[in-house]
DNA sequence: AAGTGTAGGTGTACGTCGTACACTTGTCAA
DNA sequence: TTGACAAGTGTACGACGTACACCTACACTT
């Protein structure tokens, strides 16, 4: 009784409530008009209250991305790699269409969150399971590029490298959690001194995907009598 | 003499100088730390002086994009469509690598500038000249997607439609300046009431490109003994 | 029942941002 | 010489992210 009268000062804030409110707000007012102050307003709380649940706005954005990525369906099982990958990518697309700001926010990030890495890892796993070699999978992931989400480009940018020892520890951790990601990263960077990244030739990857598309175009051009090529 | 002593209060500002200074600043401090005030500083001028040359920050960003797009080489002539397109896209890529902020800024725009439209138009023209039908060209442009620049997706978003009469005039103007763009836009929207856009099935386009890639992947997977598929 | 540590919400304040608006100045045509 | 007009200035305002000190209510011990 007494408890009920004192009652919660609303529903009680939580990281999750903050994140979901932020996503909703961005969905219908646009990401550029999402401010800590408006978000706080929406939650019936003073701006600084949010900082008990997220360290700063950047972290809020990270969390929002994780919410979106969390909406992507897990891989379907019991089919060939192709339709499994296809369905997954279409599910990702649906999530991004629901939250049009998301791809832009992702593109502005340099370091992926664990949730994003997890998604990437399982995506890579689908190709590996489908019989793709490590190298081929690597190129193929680059080809898909923004189709897989939009952040493939510079997954590992080595600009903010920690001290080697720390890096080694992180590496071991990562290898445990994201085996497929590491497999690819490792294959690409055997000779380089930096353990991650830097071994991947961006230019090559770009042209690989470009030529894949151009070859496809040429094939279509040559038989332009199908319904699609009219 | 007297003129020389009075002398220019620096080199004299101009829209061009403003734009290029902005590009330079974004290039080496990042787009998110580019402010009107810092830009003014850089130019040895008070912030409000900039507003005599650009209406607001949005227009500054538009101008900056135009500068970047202006750096893309014109189409080479006297080859087959494929290598012409290839070289052009690689040139676009070089421009975007020089200005990493550009693709992100483009993605945040809903309406393309004339310079961008001009680029698109000439790109489309290359496919048409290469023997691609209007429809096929349309799909192919979508496939290339972010590879062509990053703003293909919703070139014509019909959210901010003007009154029909105005629209008709604009349409005629556009048809004169960007014939290839209009050809494609027209083909895609014959039945819809809105004259531009809305007649293009985004989902279809997405799957078209996706399948093109997946088919290419499958071909590669089946003969994984080449140097690339190891 | 009284005390106390702590997680969660508050209030105030600062520096930065974009830009409205009123002003000065420097240049050139008449 | 005048005076119009384009270019640069100065001041000011509201919105933003967030540091920092504070308060408050509950979960514990004792």
The pLDDT tens digits of the residues spanning B82-101 come to 999 889 888 888 898 899 89
The reported pLDDT for the residue numbered A149 is 45
- B43-61 average pLDDT score: 97
DSSP A6-67: H--SSS---HHHHHHHHHHHHHHH-GGG--HHHHHHHTTS-GGGGGGT-SSHHHHHHHHHHH
The reported pLDDT for the residue numbered A52 is 97
Q: And the tokens for B140?
A: 């192919």
B9 touches strand D (CB under 7 A): yes
> Could you give the C-alpha distances from B179 to A108, B124, B171, in angstroms and in order?
34, 10, 11
Q: And the tokens for B73?
A: 């080489």
Q: Which percentage of chain B shows pLDDT scores above 90?
A: 36
Contact by Cβ (8 Å): B127, B155:
no
What are the φ and ψ backbone dihedral angles of B43, each rounded to 5 degrees?
A: -90, 5
Please tell me which residue lies nearest to nucleotide D7, judged from CA to C1'.
Answer: B52
Task: Provide the pLDDT confidence category of residue B23 given band limits of 50, 70 and 90.
Answer: very high
- Contacting residues for A23 by C-beta, under 8 A, at least 6 apart: A64, A67, A68, A99
Chain A nearest-CA distance from B44, in A, is: 30
The reported pLDDT for the residue numbered B139 is 81
**Pairwise CA distance, residues A20 & A26, whole Å:** 10
Q: Where are the beta strands (DSSP E) in B42-127?
A: none
* Contact assignment for B216 to A143 by CB distance below 8 Å: yes
The pLDDT tens digits of the residues spanning B127-175 come to 899 999 988 888 888 777 655 543 333 334 444 456 677 777 777 887 8
- Whether residue B94 lies within 8 A of chain A, CB to CB, comes out as no
The reported pLDDT for the residue numbered A9 is 44
**Neighbouring C-alpha atoms within 13 Å toward the C-beta of B208:** 22
* Contact assignment for A228 to B146 by CB distance below 8 Å: no
In angstroms, the CA of B148 and the C1' of C10 are apart by: 51
Helix axes B81-98, A202-222, angle to 10 degrees: 150
Q: Which of A24-28, B178-182, B224-228 has the lowest mean pLDDT?
A: B224-228
- Contacting residues for A3 by C-beta, under 8 A, at least 6 apart: none
Higher pLDDT: B41 or A163? It is B41
The reported pLDDT for the residue numbered B8 is 40
The pLDDT tens digits of the residues spanning A116-148 come to 888 888 888 998 999 999 888 888 887 776 555
The pLDDT tens digits of the residues spanning A69-97 come to 999 999 999 999 999 988 988 888 889 88
- Which residue stretches of chain A have pLDDT < 70? 1-10, 145-164, 186-199, 203, 225-230
The reported pLDDT for the residue numbered A156 is 40
Contact by Cβ (8 Å): B75, B84:
yes
Best probe of the A interface among B221, B224, B225, B227, by most A CBs < 10 A, is B221
Helix axes A57-70, A81-98, angle to 10 degrees: 130
- B164 C-beta neighbours (distance < 10 Å), count: 11
* Contact assignment for B209 to A210 by CB distance below 8 Å: no
């Amino acid at each position: 009784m007494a408890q009920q009268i004192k009652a919660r000062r609303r529903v009680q804030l939580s990281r999750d409530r903050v994140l979901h409110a932020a996503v909703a707000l961005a969905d219908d007012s646009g990401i550029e008009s999402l401010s800590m102050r408006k978000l706080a307003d929406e939650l019936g709380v003073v701006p600084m209250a949010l900082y008990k649940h997220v360290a700063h706005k950047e972290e809020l954005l990270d969390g929002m991305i994780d919410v979106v990525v969390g909406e992507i369906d897990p891989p379907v099982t019991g089919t060939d790699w192709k339709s499994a990958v296809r369905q997954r990518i279409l599910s990702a697309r649906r999530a991004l269409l629901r939250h049009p700001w998301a791809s832009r926010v992702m593109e502005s990030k340099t370091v992926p969150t664990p949730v994003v890495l997890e998604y990437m890892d399982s995506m890579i796993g689908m190709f590996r399971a489908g019989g793709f070699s490590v190298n081929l999978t690597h190129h193929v992931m680059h080809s898909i590029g923004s189709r897989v989400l939009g952040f493939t480009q510079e997954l590992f940018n080595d600009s903010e490298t920690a001290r080697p020892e720390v890096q080694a520890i992180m590496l071991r951790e990562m290898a445990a959690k994201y085996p497929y990601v590491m497999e690819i990263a490792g294959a690409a960077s055997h000779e380089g001194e930096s353990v991650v990244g830097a071994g991947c030739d961006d230019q090559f990857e770009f042209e690989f995907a470009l030529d894949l598309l151009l070859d496809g175009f040429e094939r279509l051009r040559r038989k332009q009598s199908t319904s699609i090529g009219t």
